[in-house]
């Protein structure tokens, strides 16, 4: 039986209930995180907890737990789900909403306790670290229609959901988004990297993209191996003419993309730089 955590207690996931007056439900007024774990070892835990704290701070929601307390909660949740979740790869979803108040009003209510919810779920296995065996992605592109605060990992995900749905309808795995200057922002649930004329490029951190923890680990891992990543604007034309394109996220790690809008990237095969990147990532992912 899947076990969840809700407002201080562990309980069967199917029994977990919150009020429809919760601001997370009414306004999407909350922050979430997904912490990936492999054989119960979290990847990028410090980064995920820092981003959770930054997001809550940006929304003026009190972080109800210290980093140590979050870490204990994650470990406990994994332990309580160890029979249910035999998968090697497990994600821990954490959500903190502003809380419940019996009046619907836009302004923040004073002094209400946040709603804290967490559950664990099996995720797909990470990509095979072999360019001849890994399954590559095929994606579409669209103009980014989301809000101006994409750096906040808000539970208001409708913009991302609508973009993702277009890729699903097209029978693809993701959608890469670009702004009104035709600069790449990110994908609906991943960050984007490209190899352009031999240089690894990823869009810079700003309000247009989520500061991905996997993005950060990829940049730091490659740097440890002496390979630089340029954080600079990347145009749609550069992306389409790139030698390689990758997507990064906690659940997908570093996913190679070989088709964009039904056209091959370079020769349509997974590239040699991806091979280096996934090897660096796997070497250091538990340390960074
Ligand atoms: C919009 C968006 N960008 C990027 C990412 C990748 O972030 P991370 O590497 O921290 O999983 C995600 C992950 O959910 C996301 O939703």
Please say whether the beta carbons of 2 and 80 come within 8 A: no
Listed in sequence order, the residues at least 6 apart from 158 whose beta carbon sits closer than 8 Å to its beta carbon are 28
Q: Which two tokens stand for residue 30?
A: 């909350």
Instruction: Give the pLDDT of residue 85.
Output: 86
- Calculate the CA 194 to chain-centre distance: 18
Nearest CA residue ID for atom 4, ligand 1: 190
Identify which of 28, 32, 113, 42 has the alpha carbon closest to the alpha carbon of residue 77: 42
Number of Cα atoms under 13 Å in the Cβ half of residue 166: 18
**C-alpha of residue 94 to centroid of ligand 1, in Å:** 14
- Is residue 174 within 8 A of residue 191, CB to CB? The reply is no
Question: 30-38 and 191-196 as β-strands: parallel, antiparallel, unpaired?
Answer: unpaired
Contact predicate 254/244, CB 8 Å: no
This prediction has a pTM of 0.97
Ligand 1 centroid – CA 236 distance (Å): 20
Residue 37's nearest CA partner among 93, 94, 95, 89 is 89
Nearest to 161 by CA among 172, 174, 143, 151: 174
The pLDDT value given to residue 59:
98
Q: Is position 153 annotated as part of the catalytic site? A: yes
Q: What is the pLDDT of residue 41?
A: 96
| Strand (E) or helix (H) holding 52 | helix 45-59
- Beta carbon of 123 within 6 Å of any ligand 1 atom: no
CA quadruple 277, 278, 281, 282: dihedral, nearest 10: -150
Q: Domains of the chain by range and CATH?
A: 3-122 (3.30.470.10), 137-284 (3.20.10.10)
Measured from the CA of 210, which atom of ligand 1 is nearest? Answer: 3
Taking the chain (288 residues) in runs of 10, the rounded mean pLDDT of each run is: 97 98 98 97 98 98 98 97 90 98 97 97 94 97 98 98 98 98 98 98 98 98 98 98 98 97 98 98 95
């Amino acid at each position: 039986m899947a076990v969840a955590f809700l407002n201080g207690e562990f309980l069967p996931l199917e029994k977990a209930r919150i009020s429809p007056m919760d601001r997370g439900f009414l306004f999407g007024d909350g922050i979430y995180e997904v912490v990936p774990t492999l054989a119960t070892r979290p990847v990028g835990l410090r980064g995920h907890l820092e981003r959770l704290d930054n997001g809550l701070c940006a929304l003026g929601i009190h972080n109800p737990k210290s980093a140590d307390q979050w870490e204990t909660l994650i470990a406990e949740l994994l332990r309580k789900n160890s029979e249910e979740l035999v998968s090697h790869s497990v994600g821990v979803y954490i959500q903190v909403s502003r809380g419940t108040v019996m009046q619907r009003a836009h302004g923040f209510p004073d002094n209400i306790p946040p709603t804290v919810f967490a559950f664990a779920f099996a995720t797909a296995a990470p990509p095979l670290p072999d360019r001849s065996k890994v399954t590559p992605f095929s994606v579409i592109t669209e103009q980014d229609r989301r809000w101006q605060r994409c750096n906040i990992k808000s539970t208001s995900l409708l913009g991302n959901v609508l973009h993702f749905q277009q890729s699903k309808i097209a029978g693809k795995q993701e959608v890469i988004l670009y702004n009104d200057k035709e600069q790449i922002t990110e994908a609906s649930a991943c960050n984007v990297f490209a190899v352009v004329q031999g240089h690894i490029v990823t869009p810079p951190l700003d309000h247009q993209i989520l500061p991905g923890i996997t993005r950060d680990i990829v940049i730091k891992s490659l740097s440890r191996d002496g390979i630089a990543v340029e954080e600079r604007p990347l145009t749609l034309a550069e992306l389409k003419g790139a030698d390689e394109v990758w997507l990064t996220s906690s659940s997908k790690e570093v996913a190679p993309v070989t088709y964009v809008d039904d056209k091959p990237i370079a020769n349509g095969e997974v590239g040699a730089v991806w091979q280096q990147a996934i090897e660096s990532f796997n070497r250091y992912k538990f340390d960074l």
